[in-house]
Amino acid sequence: MGILLCIVILPGIFAGPVNWQSMMTVAEVKRDADGKLLPLQSYDETIRRGMSFLLDDHLKWFKGDPKLLVDEEGNTQMPWVYYSNLQQDGTPFPNSVDRFVSYPAFHHSLMIRTLIGYSRYAGDDRALEEAEKLADWNIAHSTPAVWAYANLPYSTFQEKKPGGFRDKSGLMPDKAAIMALAYIDLHEATGEARFYTAAEAIADTLSKRQRPNGTWPFRVDPKTEKVIEEFTSSVIYAVMLFERLDATKGTTRYEAKRDLAWNWLLNGPIKTKEFRGFYEDIVPSPKGRTNYDCLDTIRYLLANRTKENGYLEIAMELNHWVEKTFLDKIKGFEPAEGIREQLQCNVVMGIHSLNWASMLHELGAATGDKAMRQRAIQTANYITYYLQPDNRIVVGFQYHQWWYSCHTGVVLYLFDFTGKP
C-alpha cells in the first residue's frame, strides 16, 4: 500500500528539533464500491495494536532519561505517569512549557477506563494490572485527608510534584469526579474495596464543598480554598458520581447534591451553550468553548430520557450546537467528519472525533436515524488511519505533539463500535 507524508503545518506551532512530519504517515484511502470510506484496518486490529504499543515493552520506546521516571520510593513508573505528551519518536520536548507535565486526574482516568475495557475485550490480565497500578498511584498522591478539598487526585503534576503549570497551587474538582467514576469501574472489575472507598472519599469532599448554586470552582487551592479560576461548565461528572453511588447502595444520600448540580446545568450551560473551563493547559477565556463535558451531558440526557421530560430533544439541540461549533469535513476522507477539541486549540483530533461519533451513534439509535449512525461509522473509519506503522495513534494529522490521552482515548471510544461489551 502506498503512503503519503503529511506535510501540513499549523501557523504558530513549534515543531521542535524532531521533524514530526516525516514521522507521520497518511495511508492511501480505501473505499467501497459506493465510494464510502473504509477503515485502514479493522477496529479490532486498531485496538489490539494500539494497546500493544502501551503494554509491550513501552519503556523501550520512551527516549527520555530513565531517572526521570523514578518516583520518590525508587520505583520506575511508566512514562504516562509523569508525561502527558512527547515528541513523535518518544523523546521529551526540550524547551516547551509543558515538557515535563502530566494531568493525572483526567488523563489517568481515561487510561484506567481503557485498560479495564481492554482486559475485558481481549482477556488480557496485564491491562487490569496496569489499571490497578495507576489507580493506586493516584490514590497515594491525592490531597491529605485533613485539607479542605480532601482525598482528591491532582489534575496536574509538574516535574513529579503535585500542582504547577496552569493549576499553580490548585487542582480541578471536576477532574476528581471523573477519576472517582473510573475508581468505581475498577472496583466493579476487580472487586477491590479500596477503589470504591477512594470514590466515596472524593464524593464526600465534593458534597461538602458544593456551593449554594450547585457548582464548584474550576481551579481551587485544596488546602486554603482560594479560588484560582472560577467558572467551569463541567459538573456532569459530579452528577453522575452522586447518582451512581446512591444507586450502588440503594440510598438517597447524595440525591439533593445531585439535583442541585443538575438543575444548575439544565438551566445554565445547557440553555446558554457556555460549555467552557475544561482543559488543564488552557488560559482562562470567557470566549472559550469546549465540547467534552457537553458530549457526556448528551449521553446523560439520553440515558435518562422519558416521553415527558424532553431530554431527547435537548440532546439533539446540544449535538446541533456541537456540530455547528466544532465539526469539520475531512478533505480527502469524505464523507468522514472530525471534531475540533475546543476553540482555544481549534484542531481536529482523533479522541474528540471518536467521542462525538460514539455519542452520535447512540443518538442515532435513540432517534431511529440511520443516517446519524452511518455518519458515526464513517468518522470511526477515518480515525483508524491515525494508527501508525509503529502502533502509535497520533493526535491528528496536523498536530506536532504525541499525547497519551489521545492515543488511549481513541481505543476507549472505538470499543463502542466493535459490538463487544
| Nearest residue to 336 (alpha-carbon basis) of 27, 44, 35 | 35
* Percent with pLDDT over 90 in the chain: 94
Q: What pLDDT does 1 receive?
A: 39
Q: What pLDDT does 171 receive?
A: 98
Give the C-alpha separation, 88 to 390, whole Å. Answer: 11
Q: Is 405 a member of any domain?
A: no
The C-alpha cell that represents 276 in the structure block: 467552557
Q: In this structure, what CATH number is given to the domain that contains residue 254?
A: 1.50.10.10
Any idea what the Cα angle at residue 284 is, between residues 224 and 273, rounded to 5°?
110
| Nearest residue to 361 (alpha-carbon basis) of 43, 30, 34 | 43
Predicted confidence (pLDDT) at residue 113 exceeds the cutoff of 60: yes
Q: Is 360 a member of any domain?
A: no
The C-alpha cell that represents 226 in the structure block: 482560594
DSSP lists the bridge partners of residue 403 as 85
Is residue 320 classed exposed, middle or buried when 0-12, 13-18 and 19+ CB atoms within 10 A define those classes? exposed
Q: Is 144 a member of any domain?
A: yes
- Amino acid letter, residue 276: R
Taking only the tens place, the pLDDT of each residue in 153-201 is 999 999 999 999 999 999 999 999 999 999 999 999 999 999 999 999 9
Predicted confidence (pLDDT) at residue 334 exceeds the cutoff of 70: yes
Taking only the tens place, the pLDDT of each residue in 264-275 is 999 999 999 999
Q: Is 54 a member of any domain?
A: no
Q: What pLDDT does 374 receive?
A: 98
Q: Is 136 a member of any domain?
A: yes
* Percent with pLDDT over 70 in the chain: 95
The C-alpha cell that represents 99 in the structure block: 515538557
Q: Is 156 a member of any domain?
A: yes
Residues 6+ apart with CB under 8 A from 143: 149, 150, 151, 152, 154, 171, 222, 223
Name the pLDDT band for 17 (thresholds 50, 70, 90).
low
Taking only the tens place, the pLDDT of each residue in 384-400 is 999 999 999 999 999 99
Taking only the tens place, the pLDDT of each residue in 97-106 is 999 999 999 9
**Residue that is written with C-alpha cell 478533505 in the block:** 331
User: Phi and psi for 196 in degrees, rounded to 5?
Assistant: -70, -40
Name the pLDDT band for 4 (thresholds 50, 70, 90).
very low
Predicted confidence (pLDDT) at residue 73 exceeds the cutoff of 70: yes
| Nearest residue to 315 (alpha-carbon basis) of 270, 272, 356, 345 | 270
CA quadruple 93, 99, 103, 108: dihedral positive or negative? positive
Give the C-alpha separation, 226 to 233, whole Å. Answer: 19
Q: In the sheet where 337-342 sits, what is the strand order?
A: 327-329, 337-342, 345-348
Could you list the residue range(s) of the whole structural domain that residue 239 is in? Answer: 100-288
Name the pLDDT band for 37 (thresholds 50, 70, 90).
very high
Q: What pLDDT does 6 receive?
A: 33
Contact 311, 301 (CB under 8 A): yes
Predicted confidence (pLDDT) at residue 326 exceeds the cutoff of 60: yes
Q: Is 380 a member of any domain?
A: no
Predicted confidence (pLDDT) at residue 8 exceeds the cutoff of 90: no
Contact 276, 232 (CB under 8 A): yes
Name the pLDDT band for 13 (thresholds 50, 70, 90).
very low
Name the pLDDT band for 18 (thresholds 50, 70, 90).
confident
Average confidence (pLDDT) over 397-404: 95
Taking only the tens place, the pLDDT of each residue in 120-152 is 999 999 999 999 999 999 999 999 999 999 999
Predicted confidence (pLDDT) at residue 3 exceeds the cutoff of 90: no
Name the pLDDT band for 419 (thresholds 50, 70, 90).
confident
Average confidence (pLDDT) over 66-84: 98
Taking only the tens place, the pLDDT of each residue in 234-273 is 999 999 999 999 999 999 999 999 999 999 999 999 999 9
Number of structural domains in the chain: 1
User: Can you state the percent helix, strand and coil of the chain, rounding each to 5?
Assistant: 50, 10, 40
Q: For the chain, give the mean pLDDT.
A: 95
Q: Is 176 a member of any domain?
A: yes
Q: Report the predicted TM-score, pTM, of the whole model to 2 decimal places.
A: 0.95
